[in-house]
Each structure stands twice: as C-alpha cells, then as structure tokens.
Structure 1
C-alpha cells in the first residue's frame, strides 16, 4: 500500500489525518486519492476541483517528484511510494 502524507496545515481541515500518514491501495494517483476519500470523506473536495483535476493551490509529489498529470492524475504509484499532499505557495 502506498503511504499518503499531508502537511500539518491540512490537519485543521482533516483532524483524522493528524498523525499525517495513511496507507491506502492504488496503482495511480487517482486511485490513491479515491482510497483516501473513502477513509476521510471530503478530502478530495479540498484537493480536487469540480472536474477532478488537482486544484491550483495544491501540489502533490510521488516520492520526490512533482505530479506530472495534474488533470488526469494518471501518474503511477507503487506500494513502496509515498504520496505527499501540500499547499502550493504563490505570491511575490
């Protein structure tokens, strides 16, 4: 199972992720996020937009690599991978 980690900032929205780690099945980012949604209802509403794409203010890495397919979430995930979800920073 892939491990999913989130930043501390997301704990205020999802206190059930307070330990910041969750192991879920999935072969792609989309499958991993769907598995998180089943355990933490509302998680995908924060992370994904109405079309199922990664929101602009959210970044996601598989291990140390930023997500490539922000629209289809087809990036592959193996059982030994860590998916890290964090807020994107912007501004000047």
Structure 2
C-alpha cells in the first residue's frame, strides 16, 4: 500500500497521521488522510480543492505535476511526502 507522510510543520496546527492507502491517485490518497483528520484538508487544499500555493507534494521523490486535479498516479509501494513552506522572520 502507498503511504502518505506529512512533514512536522503541520503538526503545530493539527494532527498529521501517516496514512497507508490503496489509492491510485494523489487526490484519493489525500482524501484518505483527510478522512483520518478532516481539519487537515484546510491546511493542504484551498477552497477550490486545489493544492495551496505554499504546499507541495512529492511522490517517490518526484514533485507532483497536477496541483489542480491532483491526478498524479501512485503505485502500490509509492510514498507521498506533503510539505508546507515556512515563512517568517
């Protein structure tokens, strides 16, 4: 099963469960993570359901290409890392 892992920055705001999923796309995998913690959705996706500009996902070390549809394919052994950019001074 594929794994979805969130970086520690998001843990400051909400629980970020590591999720094992049989999902075939990035969107479906994220939906499984949001089912575990619905509050996480607002930190990762905007109001249109697109990936927020300050968030990026890597699938097996490759940056995801589809930030709108999130239809990047996942393999059964894929690992997805979801990162949030940090800012401030």
TM-score normalised according to structure 2 size: 0.88
1:60 corresponds to 2:60: no
1:44-59 residue pairs with structure 2 within 5 A?
Answer: 44-59=41-56
Alignment of 1:26-41 (within 5 A): 26-41=23-38
**Which sections of structure 1, spanning at least 5 residues, go unmatched?**
none
Q: Give aligned pairs, total.
A: 88
Query: Contact (CA 8 Å) 2:56, 2:83: kept in 1 or not?
Result: yes
Question: What stretches of structure 2 of length at least 5 have no aligned partner?
Answer: none
Q: What is the Cα deviation at residue 84 of structure 1?
A: 0.3
